[in-house]
Structure 1
């Protein structure tokens, strides 16, 4: 049964992943904010009354769909990283939904976000809290020639 690469023997797959995750997060934040801003006029601006909820929904579906389709969000693709499950494969739709739910909860509960960031910095695979729970990891995208 395949598994995630060991960072002791495949350090290149984990090199710089933590900072790339931050870059990807910033790109995805901008994209989801832009999508949310585009949607507001279509609600005749009533979405301004529930803007945080609209942003939460846009962010959730943006992440779930993009991770389910390619194991990475557009920000992750731009940073050349991708999520892999405990077997080393791309995430399935259900795994993408669970990972996105875990991310959403950790962002919503600030202490969990701090724990997640600390884990990304100190763990050998650069895994956040949701990654540790699910057994997933972010890897540098392998070059295909």
Structure 2
């Protein structure tokens, strides 16, 4: 089994399965960590704005969630939760996501998360396919990989 990855292509799930093993549950735990961090940020923001963020919870939450996910993914191709779970996103060539790819991935993630049926479809795609890709991943051609396999 080869554990090398160049920027020329993504690892093959058949020959380099270690890159993909256990990624789906790690994504769930990473999501729980990130959701908790965003919730704490929202509480702090609400306190600092004397409760105004509470009144505008939905649009402020979307803004905070977008900025958090986009900035962390563009910086290191992973949110803080993903880093704790030792996974990261890679683009179609195997390279880390660019700022534009991170923005598209984050926007499509927030869209999918807003609509329950779309989110279920995305989760089913992650579970039922060899590359574990959800809808936001498909939007940019990204794959979630184990960092420890690299």
Normalising by structure 1, what TM-score? Answer: 0.95
1:65 and 2:71 are equivalent in the alignment: yes
- Aligned to 2:122, which of 116, 119, 123? 116
Pairs within 5 Å for 1:1-145: 2-142=8-148
Structure 2: which 5+ residue stretches go unaligned?
1-6
Structure 1: which 5+ residue stretches go unaligned?
none
Stretch moving more, 10-19 or 127-136? 127-136
Alpha-carbon deviation of 1:133?
2.9
Output the aligned Cα RMSD.
1.3
- C-alpha distance in 1, partners of 2:98/2:53? 32
Stretch moving more, 123-132 or 22-31? 123-132
- C-alpha distance in 2, partners of 1:14/1:121? 11
CA deviations 1:57-105 (Å, max 9, x no partner) are: 1111000000000000000000000000000000011110010001010
SS of the residue aligned with 1:124?
Answer: coil
- C-alpha distance in 2, partners of 1:75/1:88? 21
Q: Which runs of structure 1 show a deviation greater than 6 angstroms over 4 or more consecutive aligned residues?
A: none
